[in-house]
Amino acid sequence: MKRKDLIHIGAPKTGSTSLQRGVLGNLEDVHHFGEFGDGVTSLEEESLIRSVLFDDDVFVREDEFARLFTKHRQRAGSRRLVFSSADVILGASPTTAARRLRKLASDESQVLIVVRNQPSALASFYTNHGAWLKPAPQPYYRRFVEPDAWLDFVMRTPSRSTLAGFSYWQALQPFIQYWGRDHVTAVAFELLVLGDSETWSIVADLLGTTPEIGYSLFTSFHERPRLNSTQVAYGRIVGLLNPFRSPPDVRALAGLTHELTRRGRKFEPSWRTDQLRRLDEIYSDGNLKLAQEFNLPLAELGYPVAGNPL
């Protein structure tokens, strides 16, 4: 029987790295390329992937990427070919990425997206990315940013900021259009973490493994530790007391004082009531459609869902 290609499109903070490094990287019957893949061995290959996901049609290196895709299909042999990148729905146009990827994937290919409660996903994104200001002019680069200030900023332009990468229903529309609904699967991150048997049966079938092996590999991998309370205090103090126009890199300093800053409980940002209401406005309609289309218990899992305000 012909192997099915799998296109895993993230999304951010939904266990993508655990799937890529923990699961895909340890299944003998899978050849995975993309983020942390078997075959992305150079900056040039990474550049080709980013070109297909982010570049305008005038500048995209689509032919070169097609050759890269073919190379990996040949390397896969009888194994399942998996292209995986959480950046797919972070690009300027998920529709463009979907169209380009569909040209290369086989007719039997499947698309997988893992979704996560947006307030929780954004809190996780903040602790790994948003807390340290970037990109920014050098005098402000990697300054510590308070959670409220960061979320208020990205909520100004939700369709063009980080928030767009968490509009799962909207991001899925072009993939449903190009692949067909029967070839698109959405599962909830929370159920993956809980080891829900039905969810892992779906994912394991796509990967050609068993639910037990998939879950074991997924939970055995741990990415970089999240921001902790000591690092938050450190960032606030440096930001407050540093009088220089070009402040020292907070994380570089943290590296020098590793024994001090690695200690402390995980920092858990909480959002104001008005911010939660705004997130509800942005995501609840799409989440309702997502829950209905893929039979996902999103309201029960705390997602903003129309008719079930936060």
pTM of the predicted protein model: 0.86
End-to-end alpha carbon distance in the chain: 47
Same domain as 233, residue 211:
no
Same domain as 245, residue 109:
no
Query: Could you tell me which residues are beta bridge partners of residue 138?
Result: none
Please report whether residue 304 resides in a domain: no
Rg (the chain; Cα; Å): 20
Total domains, the chain:
2
Domain harbouring 50, CATH code = 3.40.50.300
Predicted local confidence at residue 212, as pLDDT: 97
Same domain as 171, residue 92:
yes
Same domain as 81, residue 19:
yes
Please report whether residue 66 resides in a domain: yes
Predicted local confidence at residue 285, as pLDDT: 97
Predicted local confidence at residue 87, as pLDDT: 85
Give the tokens for residue 64. Answer: 């070169």
Residues of the chain short of pLDDT 50, as ranges, are 1, 245-246, 256-260
Predicted local confidence at residue 218, as pLDDT: 94
Predicted local confidence at residue 4, as pLDDT: 75
Query: Could you tell me which residues are beta bridge partners of residue 7?
Result: 83, 111
Same domain as 175, residue 213:
yes
Predicted local confidence at residue 1, as pLDDT: 41
CA distance 271 to 196: 28
Same domain as 287, residue 208:
yes
CA distance 215 to 197: 9
Please report whether residue 158 resides in a domain: no
Please report whether residue 219 resides in a domain: yes
Please report whether residue 272 resides in a domain: no
Predicted local confidence at residue 249, as pLDDT: 53
- Structural domain boundaries, residue 40: 6-117+166-223+283-294
Predicted local confidence at residue 307, as pLDDT: 83
Same domain as 203, residue 248:
no
